[in-house]
């Protein structure tokens, strides 16, 4: 009777690594294809992991999960763009304006 068999569980490391690489590629493409991009770090919550929002000069934005706030800062440093903590500075008005324009255009 073998109720408690010791089996190795799949770690999912390669899946997580692939998702991380995909997110970095997306963020890099966003930075290189737009002007005036800034990084805003959103803290980990009970529902979501740490995320970054990249916001362009016109308010267009994208959000992706990152491994840590330090990882987000390293990304911003590597891309030579400013980085802010969303808890300290809040969401920029240009992002709200962009969302409002998009909402009006779709209705």
50-101 pLDDT per residue, tens: 999 999 999 999 999 999 999 999 999 999 999 999 999 999 999 999 999 9
Q: Which is more confidently placed, 99 or 9?
A: 99
Q: Are 79 and 31 in contact (CB under 8 A)?
A: yes
Q: Give the CA distances from residue 54 to residues 12, 31, 90, 101, in Å, rounded to whole numbers and listed in that order.
A: 27, 8, 13, 18
- Per-residue pLDDT tens digits for 35-50: 999 999 999 999 999 9
Task: Kindly state the tokens that stand for 5.
Answer: 């068999």
- Which pTM was predicted? 0.82
Q: What is the pLDDT of residue 33?
A: 98
CA 17 from centre of chain: 15
Q: Give the CA distances from residue 106 to residues 11, 22, 57, 58, in Å, rounded to whole numbers and listed in that order.
A: 42, 29, 22, 18
């Amino acid at each position: 009777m073998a109720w408690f068999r010791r089996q190795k569980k799949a770690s999912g490391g390669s899946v997580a690594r692939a998702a991380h690489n995909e997110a970095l590629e997306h963020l890099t493409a966003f930075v290189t294809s737009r002007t005036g991009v800034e990084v805003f770090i959103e803290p980990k919550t009970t529902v979501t992991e740490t995320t970054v929002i990249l916001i362009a000069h016109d308010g267009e934005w994208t959000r992706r999960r990152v491994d840590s706030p330090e990882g987000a800062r390293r990304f911003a440093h590597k891309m030579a763009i400013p980085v802010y903590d969303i808890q300290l500075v809040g969401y920029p008005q240009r992002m709200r304006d962009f969302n409002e324009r998009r909402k009006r255009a779709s209705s």
